[in-house]
Amino acid sequence: MTPSRHLLLALGLCLWLACRVQSQEPVVARVAGQPITAEELTLQEARFPGTQDGQHRRQLLELLISRELLRAEGRARGLEQSEEIAADLAQLERKLLLQEIEAREGLDQPGPIGEEELAELYHQWGSGEEVRPSQILVESEVQARDLIAQLQQGASFGELAKRYSMHRLSGLGGGDMGYLRLDMLLPEFREPVWALGEGQLCPEPLVSRLGYHVIRVQERRQRSLEALRPALVAELGQRHQEEARNTLGRRLRAQYHFYWNAAVAQTLIGRERPTPTAADSVALVAQWQGGQLSAAAYLKRLRSFGVKQTLADSALARERGEEVVIEDLLLAEARRRQYHREPGLGRRLDAREAELLAERLFAQEVAQKAAVSDSVLEAFYQARPDQYRVPAGAEVQEILLADQATADSLKALILAGADMGQLARQHSTRAWARDKEGMLGVLSRDSAGYGPLLPLALQAPVGLVQGPVELGGEYSLFRVVHRIPDRPASFEEARELVKKQRLDLEMDRFIAGLHQRYADQIQIDEQVLEALSPSGR
């Protein structure tokens, strides 16, 4: 690995490494007075294992030294006084305070779950009975009846579904909707489908808001409570967390004298889209001790929560309002309890500041110097013709979920016609992909961090919802949007990689210059470093 790539890894790890608890560990190096402990280096080795030799350990130490050089140079230039850095740190502080108070209030952990609760939910879920229907969704009753007649004469259900079904996600799979509980079926045809026997075709079209459904039950199965226990526990845990959050919300609204302005809220009812106007920016829809919420901010938060439908009535508007201010009330309470003075929070903020300083230096010293004309970039590209290819890959859309029960439920909704992107925005635990409606981009054999999802995505048929696939205790629903074959990359396609390689070269030069400038402020304790070897431990 080149020094510049080490550095990029260091920037990504800066927050994690600097959050360690201060200890009396031996100091392996000092950079501009900042210690790098043996503990840090050991943590780095665990994070990025390699050959168990001194060379690998010294490379990791160079990574940490580069991080501290950037920190020192950033402070020497006064970059920590930037308004952008202050705003970023304020956002991080908000996140950390929310995490702290939620942990203290037990909102991040479900309460104890009793066997009676499990048995009751198991009963609500149909006592373990599940049905696996296939459907063909069409526009008219006439077409639905014609398809039923063809099926009764021996036509292939799967082929008809692929050819005629308006619901393409299930249609691509021959109409298969997967295993569903009673409560997962659309209310419009829940009972008729549940009454069908295994292999039985419903003799009449079933009507829903989506159109006319031709349905056949492929299989039925019975699952025991023990088999469903993980999903039941996850569902009940989520319910407990929601109840605890609602209880805390009610207490905080009373404690901070939450006031809902029904008159202002009434002006929001019935809009086609919750889009703010100029008047909304000054009208207050809610107030509480130490805070307020404008109508514009309220509508913006609704969009961030994935609420796109018209606000139908005053009761719904207030319910949404109480939901969107809970974080403000939690923050007010966290500050009242002085959580913002916790030493651990200060260390996290210091670490983020160091990362931001490094990014600012990168922009000032590296990105500007590496900015060159297209002709220079193209010459760089032409000199390395074998380095630039577009690998075979798959563009993937995904919803990552905490438990299988929720994954099964959302898959049923998707197969019934729900928008997968909207569900991803609302439910996916992969936070960075929520605003992208679950789009992960193009995954190839070189993509890291997706575990079992990667090989499945590279082989799955285009368009068909797959999963749930277990990924380290979570569950992924995904579909391949389209595939990209392996081929040579044009200059336009390789442009960003070419720029990155030039940035790598410029970063190497910049780091080398910092090493020279701070040479007398870099001390490495060779004895401590040697003691970290397997023979020295």
pLDDT of residue 521: 94
In a domain, 138, yes or no: yes
Inform me whether the pLDDT recorded for 524 exceeds 50.
yes
Specify whether 187 is located in the same domain as 137. yes
In a domain, 303, yes or no: yes
Residue 140 sits in a domain whose CATH number is: 3.10.50.40
Residue 216: strand pairing partners? 134, 201
Give the number of residues written for the chain: 537
Render 264-318 in DSSP notation, one character per residue: HHHTTTT-SS----TGGGT-EEEEETTEEEEHHHHHHHHHHTT--SPP-SHHHHH
pLDDT of residue 306: 56
Task: Encode pLDDT of 46-74 as tens digits.
Answer: 877 766 667 888 888 888 898 889 888 98
In a domain, 501, yes or no: no
Contacts of 251 (CB under 8 A, 6+ apart): none
Specify whether 397 is located in the same domain as 484. yes
Listed residues 488, 505, 520: the one ending a domain = 488
Q: Give how far Cα 35 sits from Cα of 22, 63, 169, 275, 383, Å.
A: 11, 14, 56, 51, 43
Helix (H, G, I), strand (E, B) or coil at 401: strand
In a domain, 182, yes or no: yes
What distance in Å separates the CA atoms of residue 119 and residue 229, rounded to the nearest whole number? 10
Mean of pLDDT values over 182-202 = 89
Mean of pLDDT values over 403-416 = 91
Pick the closest to residue 99 from 343, 339, 431 (CA basis).
339
Inform me whether the pLDDT recorded for 279 exceeds 90.
no
Domain count, the chain: 3
The pair of structure tokens assigned to 334 is 């966290």
Listed residues 283, 306, 324: the one ending a domain = 324
Task: Encode pLDDT of 426-453 as tens digits.
Answer: 999 988 898 899 999 999 888 888 889 9
Mean of pLDDT values over 193-202 = 92
Inform me whether the pLDDT recorded for 153 exceeds 70.
yes
In a domain, 335, yes or no: no
pTM above 0.85, yes or no: no
In a domain, 306, yes or no: yes
Listed residues 453, 471, 488: the one ending a domain = 488
Query: How many Cα atoms sit within 13 Å of 209 on the Cβ side?
Result: 5
In a domain, 347, yes or no: no
Inform me whether the pLDDT recorded for 180 exceeds 80.
yes
Specify whether 406 is located in the same domain as 454. yes
Mean of pLDDT values over 266-273 = 77
Poorest-pLDDT segment among 62-66, 260-264, 444-448, 482-486? 444-448
Q: Are the beta carbons of 129 and 222 closer than 8 angstroms?
A: yes
Specify whether 133 is located in the same domain as 203. yes
Find which of 105-119, 129-143, 313-327, 349-363 is predicted with most confidence, using mean pLDDT: 129-143
The residue segments making up the domain with residue 318 are 259-324
Q: How far apart are the first and last CA of the chain?
A: 26
Specify whether 152 is located in the same domain as 216. yes
pLDDT of residue 22: 43
In a domain, 236, yes or no: no
Specify whether 191 is located in the same domain as 143. yes
Specify whether 189 is located in the same domain as 266. no
Task: Encode pLDDT of 66-117 as tens digits.
Answer: 888 988 898 888 888 888 888 898 889 999 998 898 888 888 777 788 899 9
